[in-house]
Chains A and B, each alone.
Chain A
Amino acid sequence: MTDTEERLLIERCKRGERAAFDALMRAYEKRVYNFAYRMCGNYDEANDISSDAFVRVFQAIHLFRGSANFSTWLFRIVINVYLDRRKRTLNRQHLSLEEYIEMEENSLVRQIEDTSPTPDRIVEERERYDLLQEAIATLPDYQRAMIVLYHTEGKSYEEIAEILALPIGTVKSRLNRARLCLRAKLEPLKEQFGI
């Protein structure tokens, strides 16, 4: 979808056209779900975060002025939904990576065992990215958001600064710190991770 097409779609959404909102959702729902999952590490919760985020978008789209990118505005909403939910629930991400993996080991094995037979390489890659996700899950909220926005969503430092309402210098230094933190957390697993 081009910027112009998106702009027109948003104007139609503001007029209350459900079909337009349906199309806008289809354009972003997978990215929102993926981002939500990377933030919370849980499929069901990612589902809930995505649903709540799009409800907020629907109810507030008439307030979107267009001064920022729509995706910037959207991801800001998703982060706010995540943070609001997090305030209301216990946060398992405070555990260290070792404790987290130990707790999740059985469920991780069950996940692998429950799937249909796959080549070892694919299993290895799944484990690798599961470990990466678990490492990401241990980061503080804002660092986690920056990592996912930069590496998964391809956002620039400027866009991340706008989404998180932080100075660009802060984004750069925290992102660097987050990467170094992940590297340190994955150090004990460097054989699996190739670092």
Chain B
Amino acid sequence: MKCVYAQELFSDYIAQTMESALTVSLENHLADCAACREELAGLRHVWAALDQAPRVEPPAFFHERLMSHVEVAQAAAEAAARKRALWDWRLLFRPRALAFGAAAAVLLLACADAVQTRPATLNPLGYLIRLVRPIPATSPSLEAQVTRAEWISNPEGGGTLTVHLKASTMPTRAGSLTYRAQAVEYPQAVAQGMLAPEGETKVTLTLPQTPTGKALRLLLMLSTAEGEKSFQTVAIPILAVPGISPEDAAP
């Protein structure tokens, strides 16, 4: 056995983890090689010194300083994570974020109906709602006015409200103009038809009861064949409606 190979076996020999045949072979070599015997003896001393080396004691308050360091580092990491979260688009797809997003969308859609009847404005809410639920393009040139109204009571209750509509502006392009009218206080009272380009158009609404209060509000939607639309709310003073007695009108 050569010295180089013998020295590779020294650790296993000292730890007594070598196969017996190899042990015998090494011991035969050691018997004939003083250099390797000296090397092995020196290695045993180093091995013992390494095993006996005392543990180094940490300084005072080591544990407290460690915990403090961990807590400071963790607080910094959490702050950085919160800051990153503002810009991390993937967090928008977490279940909780998706749930909140869905709830917000439902709320916006529910509000959309309430503001859709108003004329287009530049207010932020209106802009936001249009992003969620696009309102058909409105045309400022489509507008009608109520010239007069009449009420005819039905002996069995309720009655018929006849409203005379006149287009105050004409569509930008020639074409038919349709209307849809709905009584705000009586949503089931709906009428729709063609609006005469000139003169007045009679609109008849059947109401379940005699209107009361100061005014009867009418929602009007005008639209052209090309898809232009306009929305307006018209308030009809009840006292001005023939057929409704002052006693019926609310104070």
A residues contacting B by CB (< 8 A) are: 21-22, 25-26, 29-31, 33-34, 37-38, 43, 46-47, 50-51, 54-55, 58-59, 128-129, 132-133, 147, 151-152, 172-173, 175-176, 179-180, 182-183, 186-187, 190, 193-195
Contact = CB atoms under 8 A, between A and B. Distances in A.
B141 interface: no
A51 B69 contact: yes
Given A47-B59, A180-B43, 19 more contacts: A29-B62, A29-B66, A30-B55, A47-B62, A54-B69, A55-B69, A58-B73, A59-B73, A129-B49, A129-B53, A132-B50, A132-B53, A172-B11, A173-B8, A176-B12, A179-B46, A180-B10, A183-B43, A195-B45
20 contacts: A21-B70, A26-B63, A29-B63, A33-B58, A33-B62, A37-B56, A38-B56, A47-B65, A50-B58, A50-B66, A55-B73, A147-B50, A175-B11, A179-B10, A179-B11, A179-B43, A180-B7, A180-B39, A183-B39, A186-B46
A176 B4 CA distance: 12
Interface in B5-19: 7-8, 10-12
A50 B56 CA distance: 13
Contacts of B66: 25, 29, 50-51, 54
Interface of B: 7-8, 10-12, 39, 41-43, 45-47, 49-51, 53-59, 62-63, 65-67, 69-70, 73-74, 77
Contact of B65 (A22, A51, A173): A51
B156 to A, nearest CB: 72
A123 to B, nearest CB: 14
Contacts of B57: 30
A133 B49 CA distance: 11
A150 B80 CA distance: 39
B186 to A, nearest CB: 60
Contacts of B46: 179, 182-183, 186, 193, 195
Contacts of A133: 53
Interface centre among A21, A25, A31, A151 (most CB of B within 10 A): A151
A63 B179 CA distance: 66
A179 B73 contact: no
A175 B119 CA distance: 85
The 7 nearest A-B residue pairs measured at CB? A151-B50, A176-B11, A195-B45, A51-B69, A33-B58, A195-B42, A55-B73
Contacts of A176: 7-8, 10-12
Interface centre among A37, A59, A152, A176 (most CB of B within 10 A): A176
A124 B76 CA distance: 46
